[in-house]
Amino acid sequence: MSVTEPEFRRALADFVSRIDQLGKTERWTLHKSDIGICAKQSVMIKWRKEAVNRQVHVTYNSTYGVPVLWFNFYRRDGTPLTCSEIMEMSHNEDSEISQYISLNEHPILGVLFYNIHPCKTKDILNELDGKGNYIAKWLSVYGAPIGIAPPDALFTSKALSQRSEDASQSSDDGSLSTLEM
C-alpha cells in the first residue's frame, strides 16, 4: 500500500507522539522544513563491543508514495562506520531487504546517508496484516536490518495502558543493544 504525503505526515506525527507518550523507550523527534517532514532518532548502541551513535531519519518518497529509512553510524570520535561495516552489521539480521541498502543523497540534508531503497516497500507492506500505526508497521520490517524495533504497544490501541508493561521489557538479543546512558 502506498500513502499520500498528507497521510504520511499524519502517521509520522502520530508515531512520534505515541512513542513519546510511552516513555522509557528511544524517542523520535519531528522536524519540519520547506523541503519536507522528517522524524529523527539518535541513540548510542553497542556494536562489536564498541559504542556507536546510530542516527536514523524517516522521510517521504514521492515517487513510490512510501517512507524511506535513512541512517548513518558514527564512532565516538565522529568518524562514520565504513560501507563494509554497515553491510556486515545489516546482513547479520538475515533480512532480505538488506540487499537494497545503498548510499544516496539525503533529501533534506543534502549529504550522503545510507538508505534502504523503497522499490519493494509497497509490496512488502501489502503483505503485512494487523492494525496499528502505519509507520510502526513499516519500521518493524525496514528497521530490522539496523536493529530498530518499534515498541509492541504501537500495534494496539491501548498505548497508554501498556506503559508499565513496556517498562519491564526484556533485554535485547544479538549484537545490537541500547546502551544505558
Partner 1 sequence: MAGEFDYEVSRKIWEAAVPVEFQVERDDDSGDACRPCYAMLPRCSYFSLHLTRILEQVRAREESVKLDADKVWLECNGLPLKTYYPVGVLFDLYKPPDTPTITVLIKTAPRPEGVSLVSKDTMESIFMQSLKEANYLKRRKDQVVSTMKIDEHKQLWSGIVHDRFDEFWSINRRLMECSEERPFHDIPIRLYITGQPFRQVPQPPHDENGEPRTLSHALTSLSSDLVENGKYRFISHGITLPLETPLTYLGKNFAYPDNFVHICAVSDSSA
Report residue 46 as a C-alpha cell.
553497542
Q: Does 67 bind partner 1 (CB under 8 A)?
A: no
Shortest distance in whole angstroms from residue 154 CB to partner 1: 29
CA distance 166 to 82: 34
- As a 3-state breakdown, the chain gives helix, strand, coil percent values, each rounded to 5, of 35, 30, 35
Per-residue cell: 80: 562514520
Site string for partner 1, 106-145 (x = CB under 8 A): xxxxxxx----x-x--------------------------
- Contact between 32 and partner 1 per CB under 8 A: no
DSSP 127-163: H--S-S-HHHHHHHHHTGGGT----GGGGSS-TGGGH
How many residues line the site for partner 1 (CB under 8 A)?
20
Active site residue 38: no
4 scored as a contact of partner 1 (CB under 8 A): no
C-beta closer to partner 1: residue 106 or 137 = 106
**Helical packing angle, 134-142 and 5-22, nearest 10°:** 80
> Does position 78 bind partner 1 by CB under 8 A?
yes
Q: Would you tell me which residues interact with partner 1 (CB under 8 A)?
A: 35, 62-64, 78, 80, 83, 102-112, 117, 119
Q: Catalytic positions, please?
A: 119
